[in-house]
Amino acid sequence: MSRTHSCEPTMTDEGVVWFCRNGYWILEAAVPDEINRRALDYLASNTNGEPSEILQEDWFVDGVILNPAAAGAVRSLLGDDFALPTLMANHRGRGPAKPQDWHRDSGSLHGPALNYLQVFYYPQDVPPEMGPTELLPGSHFLYQREKHMAHYGAIKGGVLTAAPAGSIFITAYNIWHRRAARTAPAAARLRHQLKKKKRRTPHPRRDRIVNPEVDGATAGLVGDRRGFADGVRDCVDAAEMYFWLCGKIDEFHYLGGQSWPADILLSKPAPGSDERARNRRRFGVPGDITDRRSR
């Protein structure tokens, strides 16, 4: 059985909403230089694509896997006692290269559940020319057959994870991603990208830095469309994931048309007013994410 880890959450409700919308979270230079140097030394002599033995090294486990910022973010998304990885991949590469094909990793599921994350670590600086991993924000809700995805080239809105040494980025398991192009002269330097998977063990509940002011109906889930999905579908999908993460998926019923989370005048009537309560019912605003009774 794999080991689990318990720690305090570091993300707020607002951060979790942002993750639901975008499908990723970046922690720049979270790992100290000394650990980055040790990781690079280790990888210089251990050149295989799956150096899972590094998970036996205490300095690596403490500095990277249980890194307080990264573990706190993972814990905010997967709950306490999330399972630690048993496998580690290293996507190494140097020399000019075309971008990889867009893909989702095998075993990706489609839906609001967030049971697996991918966690990536760069032990060295990765400028844009060194072929950082590129992510497509919001694509964790976009279903496409892998054969078809491979035909897309550059997609407007793709985000390069170019970052300084020690950066960790966390994604929904099923996000669309690819290695970006590597170009000379930066491509002459070897890029390592260590990747592991983290798995939830507890049932989802609203277990993070809770802001009692955040209401599921208005928590940044309305409007601000990504443009990849049809209409407001990306808002609907992000809202569904957010409710799932609060352990409140039974409260989520999307009514379609102009209903929530389309851009309705939710914020106008004062909280607690009858008009606001009427609007919530009329526009299909789901129940509360807290355990208070919904209006």
Ligand X SMILES: O=C(O)CCC(=O)C(=O)O
Q: Which residues contact Fe ion by CB under 5 A?
A: 105
Find the binder of ligand X among 5, 21, 182, 195 (CB under 6 A): 195
Is position 196 an interface residue for ligand X (rule: CB under 6 A)? Answer: no
Which residues, at least 6 apart from 214, have a Cβ–Cβ distance to it below 8 Å? 13, 14, 17, 289
Binding at 193: pick from Fe ion, ligand X, none (beta carbon under 5-8 Å per type): ligand X
* Rounded Cα distance, 156 and 36, in Å: 32
CB 164 within 8 A of CB 125: yes
Tokens at residue 254, please?
A: 């999307």
Binding at 104: pick from ligand X, Fe ion, none (beta carbon under 5-8 Å per type): none
Q: Which of residues 145-184 bind ligand X (CB under 6 A)?
A: 177, 179
Beta bridge partners of 83: 4, 199
Is position 133 an interface residue for ligand X (rule: CB under 6 A)? Answer: yes
Least distance in Å: CB of 20 to ligand X? 21
CA 176 to chain centre: 11
Is position 193 an interface residue for ligand X (rule: CB under 6 A)? Answer: yes
Is position 91 an interface residue for ligand X (rule: CB under 6 A)? Answer: yes
Binding at 133: pick from ligand X, Fe ion, none (beta carbon under 5-8 Å per type): ligand X
3 state SS of 169: strand
* Rounded Cα distance, 55 and 45, in Å: 16
Binding at 124: pick from ligand X, Fe ion, none (beta carbon under 5-8 Å per type): none
Binding at 248: pick from Fe ion, ligand X, none (beta carbon under 5-8 Å per type): none
Is position 140 an interface residue for ligand X (rule: CB under 6 A)? Answer: no
* Exposure class string for 158-169: b at 16+ Cβ within 10 A, else e: bbebbbebbbbb
Least distance in Å: CB of 262 to ligand X? 34
Closest CA to 140 of 70, 217, 4, 244: 244
Residues that bind ligand X (CB under 6 A): 91, 105, 133, 177, 179, 193, 195
